[in-house]
A and B are shown apart, each in its own frame.
Chain A
């Protein structure tokens, strides 16, 4: 079945460590996105990519980094520079950038311990 897969589902990080969240899609979608979800708040865009080897900062990119070396993969690294990383992270993809349906993964819950 086609879909978008995030791993791991739960992730614990010590202060000062970098961690990488995985996002893979087999939908042949060009566009991929990373959102952060905090309790009681909407989704905020971290980074997005419209095409392989290209990505753009979203609204809250500070302390995060991404790569898009392959069409199907868009990993997110939460660096030690991110001051408040504990959150629910959602990856999404769409067939192309625009007003088309975005398909979401099941999310990764990151907790700093």
Chain B
């Protein structure tokens, strides 16, 4: 079946540091890939998505590129802020099965 693997957290960074969160997936065919963010005490919000190989999703300074050859969708941000402290979830959608499959989430803590 489908699965998503993320690097375990917590990831602790200083403000303005570079952030990378690794995400790899297992799926047949060509799933759509997503990053969701969960701020403390809230539900999840879509951060960005990519629907086909080599697509780059971007939003709020975050980027992720759909790499079919390495089955990866790593999230990056060049200069993090304290307000980026949250839990980040990588997810995939595949029509067969008709559901979103989530990774375990990575907690990011940005210190001033």
Q: Which residues in A have some Cβ–Cβ distance to B below 8 Å?
A: 4, 6, 33, 35, 40-45, 48, 50, 56, 58, 90, 92, 97-99, 101-102, 104-107
Q: Is the interface of B mostly helix, strand, loop or mixed?
A: strand
Total A-B pairs, Cβ < 8 A: 55
Chain B residues closer than 8 Å to A90, beta-carbon distance? 43-44
Q: Which residues of B, 6-41, contact A by the 8 Å Cβ criterion?
A: 32, 36, 41
Which residues of B41-71 are within 8 A (CB) of A? 41-46, 49, 51
Identify the 10 closest CB pairs spanning chains A and B, nearest first. Answer: A104-B43, A99-B32, A42-B102, A43-B102, A104-B44, A42-B104, A99-B93, A101-B46, A106-B43, A105-B43
**List of A residues within 8 angstroms of B102 by Cβ:** 35, 42-44
A107 and B43 contacting across the interface, CB-CB below 8 Å = yes
